[in-house]
Amino acid sequence: MKEASFYISFKSGRAACVLCPKECSIPIGQTGTCGVRKNIDGKLYALTYSKPVAIHLDPIEKKPLYHFYPGSQILSIGTLGCNLSCKFCQNFDISQEFDEDDFNYMKEVTPDEIIETCKSKGYKFVAFTYNEPAIFFEYMFDVAVRCRDNDIKTVVVSNGQIQRGPLNRIIEYIDAFNIDLKSFNPAFYKEICGGEIEATKETIKIIIERGKHLEVTFLLIEGLNDNEKEFEEMCKFLSAINKDIVLHISRAFPRYEMDFNPTPSDLIFKFKKIAENYLNHVYAGNI
C-alpha cells in the first residue's frame, strides 16, 4: 500500500481522486469505483502497490502489438480492479469480481524485484496489462522509471480512461501503448462500460502528439457495437490523427454479464475491409 498520487483532501475527510475522469469523491474507509484506491483517515492510498495478481511472460503480439518489436517476449504485469464496468468484460475475474480481503493473500513484488527479474532473465520488455494500468498508477510509474534506467522498454495496455495530468506524467517513461476503443458511441460507453468516450479519444491524441507507438483494439460484438456507420466514423477519427495507427479488430466471446454469440468471422473481415479504406495497418484478431 502506498499513498496515492493525484488526489485532493478535504476538511470533511473526503478524498477526491483526480486520476481518471470519474473523479470519485471518497469517504473515509471507502474506495473509489475502481475498488483499489482507498481513503484512510483522509488520505488516499493505492491498495495495489507492489501487489500484482498476475506476472507472465507473453509474446508481444498477445498485447496485441504487431508493429512494436514483433517476435519479442514481454514480462506482463497486472493487478486487481478497473475504472470501467464493461458488462462484457473479458477479464472480469480480476477487474470486477474481487474483494479487498484478497490483497491480504497476494504476494508482494516490489518494483526493484521486477527489475531484478528482468535483468537476471534477460527480459527487455515489460507490459502493464490484464486489468486497467491507470488504477495502479504508482506501481506502474515506479516500475517504468526503473525500466528506463535499465534500458527496458515499456508497454501500457489500457482503456484510455485517464486524466491528462497523470498521462503526461507517465508517458515519458512508456514506449508503446495499445488502447481499447470500445465503440464510437458515447451512449455505449456510458451505459455498457460506465465510462466517457471523450477521455479515451483524448488519450489517443496525446499519445500520438508525444510521438509514442500506438496500436488500437476494437472488440467487435455482434448486435452491440456493430453499427457500420459508427465504426466508419471511428476509423475516420483515427485516420485524421495518423493513418499509420495500427487497428486490431478482435472477435468477442460471451463473458461476465452478457450472453451473446461469438462474433462471426465474416463480420470481423467485413469491418476489416471498412477500416482498410482509412488506415494502413488493420488486423483481424481472435479468429
Span 50-87, pLDDT tens digits: 999 999 999 999 999 999 999 999 999 999 999 999 99
Listed by start position, the domains of the chain span 2-46, 54-285
Task: Give pLDDT < 70 ranges for the chain.
Answer: none
Task: Report the SS3 class of residue 58.
Answer: strand
Q: What is the pLDDT of residue 174?
A: 98
* 200 half-sphere exposure, CB direction, 13 A CA radius: 29
Q: What is the pLDDT of residue 102?
A: 82
Residue 212 and residue 167 in contact, taking contact as beta carbons nearer than 8 Å: no
Structure confidence at residue 103 (pLDDT): 79
Residue entry with cell 498476475 = 54
Q: For 251, how many CA atoms within 13 A lie in the half-sphere containing its CB? A: 15
- pTM attached to this predicted model: 0.96
Residue pair 138/148 in contact by the 8 Å Cβ criterion: no
Q: Which CATH architecture has domain 54-285?
A: Alpha-Beta Barrel (3.20)
- Note whether 203 and 241 are within 8 A (CB): no
